[in-house]
Amino acid sequence: MPVPIVPYSTALVACTPTIGARRQLVCSGCRNLLLYAPGATSVCCSVCNVVTSVPPSGAQMAQLICGGCHTQLMYVRSANSVQCPCCHTVNLALEENQVAHVNCGNCCMLLMYRRGGRSVKCAVCNFVTSVGV
Ligand SMILES: [Zn+2]
Ligand SMILES: [Zn+2]
Ligand SMILES: [Zn+2]
């Protein structure tokens, strides 16, 4: 049986992790932990083939729990918000002690808001819920 000739593709370079100093990244498609070489700008997931862009070097990653579906999300610490790839809820990316929770007054979804804020707009139904005293 003849061996099919596979055309050379430069896109495959980013998919091959080099041995040595490896970094980790959570796939934006299937949430697998991916390894990538320092200097790579994007990583191609071998499981779901989704290309996840690598955050700028030196960026600190932080984690938060999605207010919509409770999936753990990773984001660059300097980001103000992070959108959940599962339910598309936009979560405020704040330090733990800056965040408070309230249930939407209309649809009862758990919402996150910046502590000290007076109202929070629901990402699902756009209802504005008053918070605080
Ligand atoms: Zn994946
Ligand atoms: Zn979610
Ligand atoms: Zn709502």
Whether the pLDDT of residue 52 is over 70: the answer is yes
Task: Please give the Cα distance from 20 to 72 (Å, whole number).
Answer: 28
Ligand nearest to the CA of 85: 2
Confidence of residue 14 (pLDDT cuts 50, 70, 90): very low
Amino acid at position 112, single letter: M
CA 74 to chain centre: 5
Distance 26 CA to ligand 1 centre (A): 8
Ligand nearest to the CA of 15: 1
Could you tell me the CA-to-CA distances from 130 to 106, 111, 117, 120 in Å, in that order?
11, 11, 9, 7
90 CA to middle of ligand 2, Å?
8
54 CA → ligand 1 middle, Å: 14
Can you tell me the mean pLDDT for 53-76?
81
pLDDT at 35 over 60: yes
Neighbours of ion ligand 3 (CB under 5 A): 104, 106-107, 109, 122, 124-125, 127
Instruction: Report which bound ligand comes closest to the CA of 47.
Output: 1
